[in-house]
Amino acid sequence: MQALAQDIGLELDISYLLPELPLEELTGWHREVDRAHTLLMERSGPGADFLGWLDPLALAPDGLLAEIEETAASLRENSDALVVIGIGGSYLGARAVIEALGGPDSKPVYFAGTNISAAYHLDLLRRLEGHRVAVNVISKSGTTTEPAIALRLFRQWLADRGGDAASRVVATTDANRGSLLNLARQEGWKRYVVPDDVGGRFSVLSPVGLLPIAYAGIDIRGLVRGAARVADAVSDTSLERNPVFCYAAARNALYEKGYCIEMLAHFEPRLRFVAEWWKQLFGESEGKDGKGLFPASLDLTADLHSMGQYAQQGRRMLIETFLVIREGEPELRVPAEADDGDGMNYLAGRTLEEINREAYRATALAHREGGVPVMSVLLERLDAERLGALLYFFERACAVSGYLLRVNPFNQPGVEAYKRHMFALLGKPGFEEQTNALRQRLESAAAGGTVRFSP
Ligand code: PA5
C-alpha cells in the first residue's frame, strides 16, 4: 500500500513494513494519532509555546520573503561568498537545502561555528583570503559557545582587512534579548528575528534558513509553497491517506515492538545534510525521558560497502526509511568499451539514474528480507517545492510522533548537561563554585585508569 499525496509529489511507501507491521495493526493507531493531532492543532500539548512553524505561510509571509530576497540580492552584489555562523538548528536546515538544491552556479556559502576546531576555522579563513566575504551570524540565544567564538574570529578577520564590513554582516537572533542582539544594535548590522515560538530544529523555513538559502540563489518561495501544501493536506486524519500520520504511527508501532534505531538512507550525496537535519529533528525532539528511536543515516550506495553488512545481518533492532528521488536527475550514461575487460558492457548506454534506482529497489528488498522493516519517502523530483514539502513532512511527523511517544518534542533539556561542565572547566564567570567539585569528579571518574602498551 502507498499512502498518497501525489499532487504534492511526495508519497510514503509502506509495503515493506510487512510482516513485522501488518496494515490493520498500523491503522489501529488512528485513535492515538487523532489525539496527537488534536494536541497540536489545539495547541494544548507539551511545548505548545513552540508551534510557530505549524503554519508555513504565517512563519514566512510574503512581505518577509520579499525583504529576505532583497537583502540576499544586495549581499550577493557586495560579496563573493557568505559565511553562515551558527550551530544545530541555526545552520542545519540551510545547509540541507543549499547542498540539496545548489549547483555550480550557486553563490558559495560556507559554514563556521559548527565545531571548535582550530584546523577547520584556519582552513576556512585561508580559503576566503582575497574574497569579499559576507557573514550571517545566526543564534537564537546569542550565547552559544561555538558560533560566538567563530563570530569573534570573523569580526577580527574582517576588521583586519578594512572596508565596510558592517554592511556585509547580518545577525539573525532573538527580537528582544541576548548579547548578539546587543552587538548587532551596537554595530548597526542588519537584523532578522528568530521567532520566540520556533525552536532551532523547526526554523529552516524562517529567516534562520531562508536568508542563506536565498543568498545561494535558491527559490525560497517554492520551499515555503511546498511546505504549505503539506500543511493543508495534513488535515485529513486517515492514516491511509496521510503520509505524515502513517510515518509517525509506523515508527512508534515499531518502537513498541522493540526496534530502537531508525536509519534514514538516501542514494544522493547531495541529500547528506537533509539526513543530518533529520537526525537533529528527531534526535532532539524524541530522545528524552529514556525513550526514542535513535536516528542514524546511511549515505548510499557508499555505506552499503561498510554499514550494509550490519543492516543486512546484524542485531535486528533496525528500521529503515529510504529517501528516494523518483526522476529528474541529470542524464549521464555508462560508456561502452570495446574489450569489456571489466564485464560492465551490460550496463553500457544505461543512465546512472536507472542504475541508482535499481540499487535502491535491490537494497530495500534485501534489507526487508533480512528482517528490517522498511518505508520509503518518495519525492517525485528534487526541486524547491518538493524539498519544502519534504522538510515540512518530517517536521509535522516529528511533532505527531513525539506526542505518540508521550514526550515534549519541543524542548531539549539534555543539551545543557555538557555545557555546564564545559563552562565550569573553562572558568566561565558564574560557574566558579562548580569548578573544583567538577575537577574532583573528573579525577575520580578517571580512577579506572588508562590502558597503555608496555614500553
Ligand atoms: O534546535 C535547537 O534548539 C538547537 O540545535 C539550537 O539551534 C542550537 O543549540 C543553537 O542555539 P542558538 O541558536 O541559541 O545559538
User: Ligand 1: which of 49, 50, 116, 140 to mutate, judged by most atoms within 8 Å of the beta carbon?
Assistant: 140
Angle at CA of residue 372, ends 371 and 374, nearest 5° = 135
Q: Is the CB of 141 under 6 A from ligand 1?
A: yes
CA–centroid distance, residue 50 to ligand 1 (Å): 13
Angle at CA of residue 6, ends 229 and 199, nearest 5° = 35
Q: Is the CB of 139 under 6 A from ligand 1?
A: yes
Residue type, 313: Q
CA–centroid distance, residue 90 to ligand 1 (Å): 6
pLDDT at residue number 18:
92
**Closest ligand 1 atom to the C-alpha of 173?**
13
Average pLDDT along the chain, 455 residues, taken 10 residues at a time: 63 95 95 96 96 98 98 96 97 98 94 97 97 96 92 94 84 95 95 96 98 98 97 88 96 98 98 98 98 98 96 97 94 97 97 97 97 97 97 98 98 87 86 81 78 84
Residue 198: all three cell numbers together:
520556533
- The crossing angle, in degrees rounded to 10, of helices 92-101 and 384-404 is 140
- What is the spatial distance between Cα 318 and Cα 350, in angstroms, rounded to a whole number? 33
pLDDT at residue number 4:
43
CA–centroid distance, residue 88 to ligand 1 (Å): 5
pLDDT at residue number 163:
73
Nearest protein CA to atom 3 of ligand 1, as residue? 200
Residue 137 phi, psi dihedral angles, 5° rounding:
-95, 125
pLDDT at residue number 243:
96
Helix (H) or strand (E) holding 295: strand 294-299
DSSP 335: P
Alpha carbons within 13 angstroms on the beta-carbon side of residue 128 total 25
Residue 231's SS3 state is helix
- What is the spatial distance between Cα 252 and Cα 235, in angstroms, rounded to a whole number? 20
- What is the spatial distance between Cα 306 and Cα 349, in angstroms, rounded to a whole number? 29
Q: Is the CB of 206 under 6 A from ligand 1?
A: no
Q: Is the CB of 412 under 6 A from ligand 1?
A: yes
Residue 295: all three cell numbers together:
536516528
Alpha helices in 79-142 (DSSP H): 92-101, 118-128
Q: Is the CB of 85 under 6 A from ligand 1?
A: no
User: Ligand 1: which of 87, 149, 179, 196 to mutate, judged by most atoms within 8 Å of the beta carbon?
Assistant: 87
**Closest ligand 1 atom to the C-alpha of 87?**
10
Q: Is the CB of 308 under 6 A from ligand 1?
A: no
pLDDT (tens digit per residue) in 228-274: 999 999 987 788 899 999 999 999 999 999 999 999 999 999 999 99
**Closest ligand 1 atom to the C-alpha of 415?**
9
CA–centroid distance, residue 197 to ligand 1 (Å): 13
CA–centroid distance, residue 194 to ligand 1 (Å): 11
CA Rg value for the chain: 24
- Hey, which residues are catalytic here? 284, 305, 419
**Closest ligand 1 atom to the C-alpha of 90?**
7
pLDDT at residue number 245:
96
DSSP 333: B
Q: Is the CB of 87 under 6 A from ligand 1?
A: yes
CA–centroid distance, residue 284 to ligand 1 (Å): 11
- What is the spatial distance between Cα 326 and Cα 378, in angstroms, rounded to a whole number? 7
pLDDT at residue number 436:
80
Positions of E strands within 366-435: 374-379
Q: Is the CB of 145 under 6 A from ligand 1?
A: no
Residue 333 CA: distances (Å) to CA of 30, 33, 317, 326, 349? 46, 45, 38, 17, 5
CA–centroid distance, residue 91 to ligand 1 (Å): 9
User: Ligand 1: which of 50, 137, 141, 198 to mutate, judged by most atoms within 8 Å of the beta carbon?
Assistant: 141
CA–centroid distance, residue 87 to ligand 1 (Å): 6
180 alpha carbon, distance to own chain's centre: 24
**Closest ligand 1 atom to the C-alpha of 138?**
13
pLDDT at residue number 440:
81
Q: Is the CB of 200 under 6 A from ligand 1?
A: yes
**Closest ligand 1 atom to the C-alpha of 201?**
1
